[in-house]
Homo-oligomer: A and B are copies of this chain.
Amino acid sequence: MEHGSGGRATGELIREIFESQFNSDVLSEMEDAAVVPGNGTIAMTTDSFVVTPLEFPGGDIGRLCICGTVNDLCMRGAVPKYITCGFILEEGADVELLRRIVKSMADTANEAGVKIVAGDTKVIEGDGGIYINTAGVGFVPNDVDIKAKNASPDDVIIVSGNVGDHHATVLSQRMGIKNTIQSDNAPLQEMVGKLIENHIPVHVLRDVTRGGLATVLKELALASGLRFDILQEKLPVNPQVKSFCGLLGLDPLYMGNEGKLVAIVPKEYGPQAVQIIKSSKYGENACMIGSVNAPDDQSEIGALIMKTEIGGRRFLDILQGEGLPRIC
């Protein structure tokens, strides 16, 4: 418990582990707040990460927390710039593991082009758990206005790649199932930046995280009051994830990702947007999966309807209760 009390032990832990990895000139000033250049319009977000296990194939909680915050900023069209991180460590947290996590954060921040500008560490009683909160600031370019309400009839719905990978990875680890499924956790600033640079008039972006693709699309449908139609046959799912889900009776539509997004763009820009995403890192399996349409009647306002492979029409709702074992 000595680390975290505001005295010398805390100072040393912070300096040794964090400063050695987070090479930020701002952070090393050791002030209560960082002072950094701003921008006319900024985006802000926060997220806490309580994942088990802390390390998994394809990533760890460190990569996850940077990607999560970077991606939330990107979903408003912002260029991610600054991240703060607050660590809550339970007594007995493994210092070597913490070092690996912090290194992973630094590497991911580097990849995503963000600076870690402020941090804080607290130690609580417990059993070695490591929880991380990250908050982020991004700069929103002048003419960019991306939000859920902007979905319009005749827009197309694009997903940037295979769904369910992160969830299937974490479940496999927890259940001790041996396979080669890897988490997709990845920062999406390059993909989003390219869409904006290429003047795609993106209406909506949303990263596919907790609750899975169906939850995300249903929330967007509700926000717009329109009808979202998707085609089951178009849904990109890694065959190994598909088998894993089949075996356990899980639905990839409700399984979380950590490096995928949904983009909603005007129909005429659909093919170009898919090409741009495909040519971006982490977007190789992007495809159009459906469209946004005016509701035909009351029951279709805010509806998410999937045309199934056998020709049925299934109304999808957001994730109810746990639905699936919690993974993040």
Residues of A bordering B, CB below 8 Å: 1-2, 4-9, 11, 29-50, 71-73, 75-76, 78, 82, 84-88, 117-122, 124, 126, 129, 131, 133, 135-140, 147-148, 206-207, 209-211, 215, 219, 223, 256, 318-323, 326, 328
Are B47 and A326 within 8 A (Cβ)? no
Q: Would B326 and A31 count as touching, CB distance under 8 A? A: no
Closest to A72 in B: B32
Verify A319–B5 contact, CB threshold 8 A. Answer: yes
Known: A7-B211, A84-B135, A319-B6. A41 touches B48 (CB 8 A): no
The 28 listed contacts between A and B (C-beta, < 8 Å) are A2-B321, A5-B211, A6-B211, A6-B256, A6-B319, A7-B215, A7-B319, A7-B323, A29-B147, A30-B223, A32-B75, A33-B78, A34-B43, A35-B41, A35-B78, A35-B147, A36-B41, A36-B42, A38-B38, A44-B84, A46-B119, A46-B120, A46-B133, A48-B86, A48-B87, A48-B88, A48-B133, A137-B137
Q: How far is the CA of A164 from the CA of B219 in the complex (A)?
A: 49
- Closest B residue to A6 by CB, please name it: B210
Interface contact A86-B321, CB-CB below 8 Å:
no
CB-CB nearest in chain B for A324: B5
Are A33 and B44 in contact (CB-based, < 8 A)? yes
Residues of B within 8 A of A82 (CB): 44
Q: Does B46 lie within 8 Å of A85, measured CB to CB?
A: yes
Q: How far is the CA of A38 from the CA of B320 in the complex (A)?
A: 37
- The answer on a CB contact under 8 Å between B41 and A40 is no
A321 to B4, CA, bound (A): 10
Q: Inside 8 A of A209's CB, which chain B residues have their CB?
A: 6
Q: Is the CB of A76 within 8 A of B1?
A: no
| Complex Cα–Cα for A87 and B133 (A) | 9
- 8 residue pairs, one from A and one from B, having the closest CB atoms: A6-B210, A135-B135, A46-B84, A7-B319, A133-B133, A33-B45, A38-B42, A6-B211
A29 CB to nearest chain B CB (Å): 7
A323–B133 CA distance with the chains assembled, in angstroms: 28
Is A321 in contact with B42, judged by CB distance below 8 angstroms? Answer: no
Q: Judging by beta carbons under 8 Å apart, are B76 and A33 in contact? A: yes
- The answer to whether A131 and B124 have CB atoms under 8 Å apart is yes
- Which partner residue on chain B sits nearest A254 by CB separation? B7
A326 pairs with B1, CB closer than 8 A: yes
> Which residues of B lie under 8 Å from residue A148 when comparing CB positions?
29-31
- Chain B residue nearest in CB terms to A26: B44
User: Are A206 and B135 within 8 A (Cβ)?
Assistant: no
Inter-chain contacts of A8 with B (CB < 8 A) = 318-321
Cβ of A36: which chain B residues have Cβ within 8 Å of it?
41-44
Is B42 a contact partner of A42 (Cβ separation < 8 A)? yes
Q: Which residues of B contact A120 (CB under 8 A)?
A: 46-48, 133
Residues on B with beta carbons closer than 8 Å to the beta carbon of A256 = 6
